[in-house]
Amino acid sequence: MGINDWKNLSHILPQHEKAQYHIESMNKWCELSHRVLERLLSIVEYLSANNLAFRGSIEKLFQPQNGNFLGLVQLLGKFDTMMSEHLRRVTENEIHDHYLGPRIQNELIMLMSNKVRDKIVSLVTLAKYFAVILDCTADISHQEQMSLIVRFVDISDSAQITVKELFTTFLEVQDTTGFGLLQTLLDELKQKGLSIMNIRGQGYDNGANMKGGISGVQARLLRENPRAFFVPCACHSLNLILCDMAKSSVEAISFFGLLQRIYVLFSASTQRWQIFKAHVNGITVKPLSETRWESRVESVKTFRYQSEEVYEALVAISEEARDPKAKSEAQSLASEISSFKFLTSVVIWYDILVKISSISKIMQSPMMQLDSTLILLNNTQDFLVKYREHGFKEAQVTARELAQALGVEPKFPCANVTRVSRKK
C-alpha cells in the first residue's frame, strides 16, 4: 500500500513492519528466494558431478549459446511454477537479485566444494591415519598444479568399513623441486588441520622430484615422519618399463611409427576416412598414446584382426585419391604392411600389450591391495619370460595365417650384410 504522510513516516513504518499482511508477504518472498536457491544449487550439483561447463559465449537468459547453467534454468522454468515465476520477475525487471550471474555461479560452486572438502577432512580426522597421493600437471593456462588425493579407512559407518581414495584439491605450484612440493603439501595439510605425523603412506609417479632418494618429496617427508612409507605407483613403473623396452629396439620404434603414419593418412581427410570405413568394419585405427603405453593395444588390434581390410583400404586410396602425396604415402604403407616381418610384429606386440593392459587396468582399481599387485607383477614377469622362450615361434604360426590372407610369402627379408661406410 502507498503512503503520502511523510511527516509521520517514522511512526507509520514500525506499525507497517508489525502488520500481518507485511509479515505474510515477507515470508512468501523469503520462501520464494529459498526455493529458487534450492533449484539453483541442484543445477550446480548436477553440472559439477558430470564435469560440464557452466557458461557459454553469452550470459543472458533466453539467448542462444548462453551455456548449460542458464539453459537448465530456462528448461526448469517451463515445468516448474516456482522457477517460472522467478524468471518472469527477472525478465520484467521486478527484481535485481536474480542469483543467475557468473559471480553467483562461482560462489555457489565454491560453497559446495568447500562443504565436500570439509566432509572429506572430517572423515580423515575420524580415521586419524591416512596416506597422500600427489601428481603434478600443467593446466590449460600453463600453470603447474598438484593434485592432492587422500587414502584412508572410512570408519564413519561401523556396519560398513571401507578403504577410500578421495580427491581433495588442486594446489598451485611455483617451485617444482622436492622442497617446494613438500612445502606446498605441508601448508595445505596445516590449513585443513591434518597432522603430518599421522601420514602412514605416500605414493607418487616416478619423477625425480617426487621419488628422489635424497631431495625428493618422499625422502624429505620420511625425514619429517619415518612412518610415512613410500610406495611408487605400480602403473607408472609398468608404463616406464614398456617405454624403455620399446625405445631400446629400433624395430619397435619403426613399427609404431608405421602405425601412426597409417592413422594420420586416414584421419587427415574425410574422404579417406570414408574409404577406410567402407573396407574395415567394427574397428578403427587409433592414434598412439604417448602417456599410457599399454593403451597402444587398441592401435595394434586393428591390424591383428583386420590387416587384410586395412591393406585393401590403402590400395583403394592409392587408386582413388586425388592428392599425389596421399597416393604415394598409401602405396608406401600398403607395401610396408604386406610383409611377413610386419605381420609377425603385429602378433607379438598385440600378445604383449593385451596382457599388460589387462593387468594395468586391474592395478588402477581403488580396491587393489599391495600383495595382489605383487602377484600380478610376478605373473606378468613369468609370462614375458615364457614368451621370450616360446612366443616367437607361436607368433609366427599366427602371422603365417595373416600372411596367407594377404597373399604374402611367409619369409623374413634377407639381412643386408653390406655395411654403409662414410667417407672420411
Q: pLDDT digits over 352-397, tens only?
A: 888 888 888 888 776 777 788 788 888 888 998 999 898 888 999 9
Residues 251 and 286 grouped into a single domain: yes
pLDDT over 80 at 21, yes or no: no
Write down the pLDDT at residue 415.
Answer: 60
Confidence of residue 416 (pLDDT cuts 50, 70, 90): low
Percentage of the residues of the chain whose pLDDT score is greater than 70: 92
Residues 319 and 355 grouped into a single domain: yes
Residue 185 inside a domain? The answer is yes
Residues 250 and 326 grouped into a single domain: yes
**pLDDT (average), residues 290-313:** 85
Task: Give the residue from 72, 100, 128 where a domain finishes.
Answer: 100
- Rounded CA-CA distance 218/205 in Å is 11
pTM above 0.75, yes or no: no
pLDDT over 80 at 20, yes or no: no
Q: Which residue, 249, 352, 340, is CA-closest to 301?
A: 352
Task: Give the residue from 38, 70, 100 where a domain finishes.
Answer: 100
Confidence of residue 22 (pLDDT cuts 50, 70, 90): low
Write down the pLDDT at residue 191.
Answer: 93
Residues 138 and 261 grouped into a single domain: no
Write down the pLDDT at residue 346.
Answer: 93
Residues 395 and 308 grouped into a single domain: yes
Let me know: does 171 contact 200? Beta carbons within 8 Å. Answer: no
Write down the pLDDT at residue 42.
Answer: 93
**pLDDT (average), residues 57-73:** 92
Residue 419 inside a domain? The answer is no
Confidence of residue 422 (pLDDT cuts 50, 70, 90): low
Structure confidence by residue, pLDDT tens digits, 134-189: 988 887 778 889 999 999 999 998 888 998 999 999 999 988 899 999 999 999 99
Query: Greater confidence, 367 or 63?
Result: 63
Query: Greater confidence, 244 or 338?
Result: 338
Residues 227 and 310 grouped into a single domain: no
CATH number at residue 200: 3.30.420
**pLDDT (average), residues 246-259:** 87
**pLDDT (average), residues 218-245:** 85
Let me know: does 303 contact 310? Beta carbons within 8 Å. Answer: yes
Residue 348 inside a domain? The answer is yes
Residues 260 and 332 grouped into a single domain: yes
**Range of lowest pLDDT (21-25, 95-99, 106-110, 294-298):** 21-25
Structure confidence by residue, pLDDT tens digits, 104-136: 999 999 999 999 999 999 999 999 999 999 988
Residues 144 and 282 grouped into a single domain: no
Residues 203 and 323 grouped into a single domain: no
**Terminal-to-terminal C-alpha distance of the chain:** 105
Domain count, the chain: 3
Write down the pLDDT at residue 189.
Answer: 94
Query: Greater confidence, 34 or 175?
Result: 175
Range of the domain at 93: 14-100
Residue 66 inside a domain? The answer is yes
Residue 402 inside a domain? The answer is yes
Residues 199 and 286 grouped into a single domain: no
**pLDDT (average), residues 28-54:** 84
Write down the pLDDT at residue 53.
Answer: 92
Residues 330 and 392 grouped into a single domain: yes
Q: What is the mean pLDDT of the chain?
A: 86
Residues 221 and 280 grouped into a single domain: no
Residue 422 inside a domain? The answer is no
Structure confidence by residue, pLDDT tens digits, 390-413: 888 899 999 999 999 888 888 887
Confidence of residue 209 (pLDDT cuts 50, 70, 90): confident
Let me know: does 204 contact 135? Beta carbons within 8 Å. Answer: yes
